[in-house]
Copies of this chain bind each other. A is one copy, B any other.
Amino acid sequence: MIKIALLGAGRMGSLHGRNAAASARLHLAWVVDPQADAAARLAAETGARVATLEAVLADPEVKGVMVASSTDAHLADTLTCLRAGKAVFCEKPLSLWAEELETAGAELTAPGLPPLLVAFNRRFDPHIAALARGLAEGRIGKLESLHIVNHDPATPSLDFIPRSGGLFRDFTIHDFDLVAWLLGEEIEEVFAFSSCLIDPAIAELGDTDTAKTILRGASGTLCVISNSRRSGYGYDQRLEAFGSKGALRIENLRDDAVSYWGEDGPHGSPFPYAFPDRYGDAYRAELDHFADVIEGKSSPRAGFAESLGAIRLANAAQLSVQAGAPVRRNAEGKFDV
């Protein structure tokens, strides 16, 4: 068993901590969180013990650290752990701010550092992986366009909005990373419309809740991303890839394979309501990949470069909305009007 530690006993930290405890390959030894109660509760639940970050980094048997601290601490915590020689599994995003990432870039890409895995969960979903295999095998010929629907079941707490980084950096970032992964070429242009249709309080906080973004790839490929903070029917997570010889698509999962036929027609079981349900397998696969990375069997599927790429696309969409114009990639890889 590979001994690991966890930084952060909040929502995502608890999810990863429980998965680590149930893993046959990883031994979650330590939980670190400034909130002593949260740390103690999660440690009790997972059979781990509470520790300070210093103690964890000083433990030579600890091979990896899962960073699930607050978003604005991700990058600093990651750097601290990497410098201490620990492999890092960092909950996404590594940072919400491209400038921070650019500043840290030289260090993060220097040779000799332990591996860094940034946990973009879509990359580990078995359904998306199956679609990606289909693309790679040429089932639909040359890929021409991608459609992504990513609608949350219900709006987050209003408290969260100001520290979220905004719809594009917080939420669409998953889709930007998907596009970058699946499209296989650079995005050259981005345009977005966004509206606040669900809750005017979100607009008062300077954010939006509904957006449609279109992106053009280097060879003219076209991608559409639809985002909404509230679907009314669960977590809408769909993907369609159109190519020269056909299409591959992922429909929403259902809670089970039962359907009910009644007076008003056929009903399927509901869609998974929220991300821990929809992406449960992906979260477990991420951890298994982290075990592979620590053991040197794989290199991380996503790390610094993917984090910077996704944030730059989020910035591009944000800038497009502000400028009311499409933005284009410049020679440095950033987007401007």
Contacts and interface: CB of A to CB of B under 8 A. Distances in A.
Contact of A197 (B221, B256, B268): B221
Nearest to A147: B226
A127 B325 contact: no
Given A246-B260, A257-B127, A265-B271, A193 B222 contact: yes
Contacts of A249: 258-259, 261
A270 interface: yes
Contacts of A326: 191, 193, 324-326
A126 to B, nearest CB: 6
Contacts of A253: 257
Copies of chain A in the complex: 4
Given A145-B228, A195-B220, A220-B195, A259 B248 contact: yes
A116 B260 CA distance: 35
Interface in A143-168: 144-145, 147, 149, 151
A267 interface: yes
Interface string A238-272: 00001111111111111111111111111111110
A196 interface: yes
A206 interface: no
Interface in A184-223: 189, 191, 193, 195-198, 210-212, 214, 216, 219-222
A264 B267 contact: yes
Contact of A265 (B191, B211, B230, B233): B233
Interface in A64-111: none
A331 interface: no
A103 B95 CA distance: 57
Interface stretch (A36-44, A134-142, A302-310): A134-142
Contact of A258 (B131, B211, B231): B131
A226 B131 contact: no
25 contacts: A127-B257, A131-B258, A139-B262, A140-B232, A142-B197, A144-B228, A145-B212, A145-B228, A191-B326, A195-B222, A197-B221, A198-B244, A210-B220, A210-B222, A214-B214, A224-B224, A224-B226, A231-B242, A232-B246, A233-B246, A246-B263, A248-B260, A250-B257, A254-B265, A268-B268
Given A21-B24, A195-B221, A230-B244, 20 more contacts: A126-B256, A140-B232, A142-B197, A144-B198, A144-B228, A189-B193, A191-B214, A191-B326, A193-B326, A195-B220, A197-B219, A210-B222, A212-B222, A232-B243, A232-B246, A233-B247, A251-B257, A255-B265, A268-B268, A324-B326
Interface of A: 21-22, 24, 126-127, 130-131, 134, 139-142, 144-145, 147, 149, 151, 189, 191, 193, 195-198, 210-212, 214, 216, 219-222, 224, 226, 228, 230-234, 236, 242-271, 324-326
